[in-house]
Amino acid sequence: MNKKQAKENIDKLRKDLEYYADKYYNEDSPEISDYEYDMMLKKLKELENQFPEFITRDSLTQKVGGQVNSKFEEVEHEVPLQSLQDIFSFEELYEFDERVKKQQEDEELKYVVETKIDGLSVAIEYKNGVLVRAATRGNGLIGEDVTENIKTIKTVPQKLNKNVDIIVRGEVFISKQGFETLNKTRQEQGDVLFANARNAAAGSLRQLDSKITASRPLDIYIFNVQRLTNNMFNSHYEQLMFLEELGFNVNPVKIPCNNIEEAVNAIKKIGEDREKLSFNIDGAVVKVDSLSFREKLGTTYKFPKWAIAYKYPPEKKETILKDIICQVGRTGAITPMAILEPVQVDGSTISKTTLHNEDFIKDKDIRIGDTVVIQKQGDVIPEVVDVIKNKRTGSEKVFKMPKTCPVCGAPAIREEGEAVTRCIGIECKAQALRSIIHFASKEGMEIDGLGASIIEQLMEKGLVNNISDIYNLTLEDIASLKKNGKKFAQNLIDSIENSKKRDLFKLINALGIRHVGIKSAKSLAKAYKNIENLANASYESLISNNDVGEIVATSIYNFFRQEQTVDLLEKLKVAGVNMESLEKDTGNKFEGMTFVLTGSLENYSRNEASEIIEKLGGKTSSSVSKKTTYVIAGEEAGSKLKKAQELGVKIITEKEFSDMIN
């Protein structure tokens, strides 16, 4: 990989990781699994190690992922709440041990292995044994003041058993049983269920109303002393014992180890017993026990050098696949969904998951009634990873993708070379929002003011359910969306009225026919003159058009033979929408010719020159080849001019182009 490719990969990984980190830390609504995120971060680390010149301080390899919500008071941490470096193999754990031993000298090297609790990290401060402040980790340096919310957690002592000044670090979480009860209650009340226990805990702690926090089954385990006045302890384990004496709910899994081999065995034992734990974990933490040795080892900007987090592989569970149903997305994609016997996997109750597409089901030979293996690692969307075929009884049923849309009844088509089956109904309710947005867009009917948010409001009020409803809107309908909205409403009504006069090619493109873009729409409008001719065109007629191939011709032909399309076009016609080409017939003097534009032209923009060429029956291309008819060379023409000279393609000036037009 060269430096340019590495830089591009690093930039993309950083951008993606920032997005997913924001979803996880700040919105408490992750979109990918912990495992997928960890693998992306690991890849970024590898690339940065290989190309250190691209390392920056704002990279997620160098900082903690969370941010501070402006709705909370900021708290500056006296001792930074750092993250931990993640590893995924015992080989990496032995490498960590070797790095530590290089600085050992006379220091005693022992470890403590603890469970890595899957929750939200906080720092809690006590003055003279009384709780005075609590804050989330935030970005590690500054967190959110959640003192009142922390006080609602029953296992957080308001007053310690000794009058000490101390700051401790802990993890707020919801137990497996607590999460199950919480979601059951929400289901009974008709509320949206939480995706997993970690998000439920984080969202509950970061409530502005502490009464809401108090109603949630939050718990906490303390796992570290951040600062202690008159600290007389030599080891981390001794401190944990002292924390229990003070009255803290300390992490119950804390295993002292004399060497790295014992640490490895402890991690294995935790992995074997994780099912029996009452709380969810996302790994095990190995910490150097000696506090003086820790100080000697120090920290990086993001990680302590004296601790490391071992991440377990994704947890897998068996369950029964009771049924397969199909959901229709906004793009018309029909996705098979597995309905499962509910099963707890990594802190979430899983009752359904995507099966992606027809090929995925066939490749794994998934059948209704099968015993399947579900995998999930803190993920919102789990997956079926295997089928236990030796548990089949013979009653299992083979699934077949539907031939019609389960929402609107229009044909469901899978095009050659694609894995997705799609509904092609233009009035399908599942696709309505996307269809209307596209219809009103600049590339469509150019209805200024009718953007996505306004369309969503109109749909919520039941004023718009499909494309044709746009032309039934009244001034009062639109004005009701905003305070003092009469001026906005009048402007939008005028824009809707003006859209009726758009050219035929705008209407064709606005209909959202699959594989038909603005260029194809112009070609079709020129060839067929009105929507009726296009709607009645045979497959043979369509494919004879130079801009239409087999796939596009099939898509157009099928589209115009749907009842929903016929119904929509009739409604648009009644509304007064233009269905005729407004282009004057300028002849086809450029028919069969391909032009390439290079350099800057004096009297035409590139778009203007391209439109002229297309109106006269020609085509434009972005690259020069032997099939190019002319290269129009303007000022400062570059590599395309050189390529044309090498291939012997005819080169003309802007004046020669103007002469050809006239």
CATH of 594-661, one of 3.40.50.10190, 3.40.309.10, 3.20.20.70, 2.40.70.10: 3.40.50.10190
Is 116 an active-site residue?
A: yes
Q: Show the tokens assigned to 639.
A: 């590599």
What's the CA gap between 416 and 401, in Å, rounded? 15
Asked whether the beta carbons of 501 and 462 are under 8 A apart, the reply is: no
Confidence of residue 68 (pLDDT cuts 50, 70, 90): very low
Kindly report the CA angle at 607 between 606 and 613, in degrees rounded to 5? 90
Both tokens of residue 648? 């012997």
Q: Find, among 662, 607, 597, 586, the residue nearest to 634 by Cα.
A: 597
CA distance 518 to 529: 16
Confidence of residue 35 (pLDDT cuts 50, 70, 90): low
Residue 86: strand, helix, or coil: strand
Helix (H, G, I), strand (E, B) or coil at 593: coil
- Report residue 378's pLDDT band, with 50, 70 and 90 as the boundaries: very low
Neighbouring residues of 409: CB distance < 8 A, sequence distance ≥ 6:
425
Average confidence score pLDDT of the chain: 88
Cα dist. 345→188, 339, 364 in Å? 22, 15, 21
- The pLDDT assigned to 394 comes to 93
Give CA angle at 528 (525, 532), nearest 5°.
100
In sequence order, the 6+-apart residues with CB closer than 8 A to the CB of 418 are: none
What six digits make up the tokens of 290? Answer: 């000696």
The pLDDT score that the predictor gives to residue 70 is 53
- What confidence tier does 60 reach under pLDDT thresholds 50, 70, 90? low
Q: Which of 150-159, 315-324, 602-611 has the lowest mean pLDDT?
A: 602-611
pLDDT value at residue 69:
46
Q: Positive or negative, the Cα torsion across 254, 256, 259, 261?
A: negative
Average pLDDT over residues 216-229: 95
Q: Examine the pLDDT at 117 and tell me if it is beyond 50.
A: yes
pTM beyond 0.85:
no
Choose between 321 and 67: higher pLDDT: 321
SS3 58: coil
Contact call for residues 206 and 266 (beta carbons, < 8 A): no
Domain ranges of the chain: 3-54, 74-310, 315-398, 429-575, 594-661
Do residues 290 and 302 touch, judged by C-beta distance below 8 A?
no
Q: What is the 3-state secondary structure (H, E, C) of 218-272?
A: EEEEEEEEEEECCCCCCEHHHHHHHHHHHCCCECCCEEEECCHHHHHHHHHHHHH
Q: Please give the biggest Cα pair distance in the chain.
A: 97
Nearest residue to 466 (alpha-carbon basis) of 498, 512, 518, 420? 512
Distance CA 503, CA 111 (A): 75
CATH 2.40.50.140 at 315-398, yes or no: yes
| Whether 34 contacts 315, CB under 8 Å | no
> Which residue has better confidence, 192 or 419?
419
pLDDT (average), residues 272-288: 91
CATH class of 74-310: alpha beta
3-state DSSP assignment of residue 362: helix
**Can you read off the two tokens belonging to residue 146?**
């959640």
- Specify whether the CB–CB gap between 37 and 17 falls below 8 A: yes
Q: What is the DSSP string of 491-521?
A: HHHHHHHHHTT--HHHHHHHTT-TT--HHHH
Indicate the pLDDT class of residue 31, thresholds 50, 70 and 90: low
Length of the chain: 662
Q: What is the pLDDT of residues 127-175, one digit of tens each?
A: 999 999 999 998 889 999 999 999 999 999 999 999 999 999 999 999 9
By DSSP bridging, strand 86-87 and strand 307-310 are parallel
For 423, phi then psi, to 5°, come to -80, 135
Using DSSP, state whether 151 is helix, strand or coil.
coil
Catalytic-labelled residue, pool 110, 116, 376, 640 = 116
CATH architecture of the domain formed by 429-575: Orthogonal Bundle (1.10)
Q: Can you name the CATH fold of 3-54?
A: Helix Hairpins (1.10.287)
CA–CA separation, 203 vs 180, rounded Å? 16
Tell me the C-alpha distance between 16 and 194, whole Å.
Answer: 24
Per-residue tokens: 125: 């401060």
Report how far residue 371's alpha carbon sits from residue 263's, in angstroms, rounded to the nearest whole number.
36
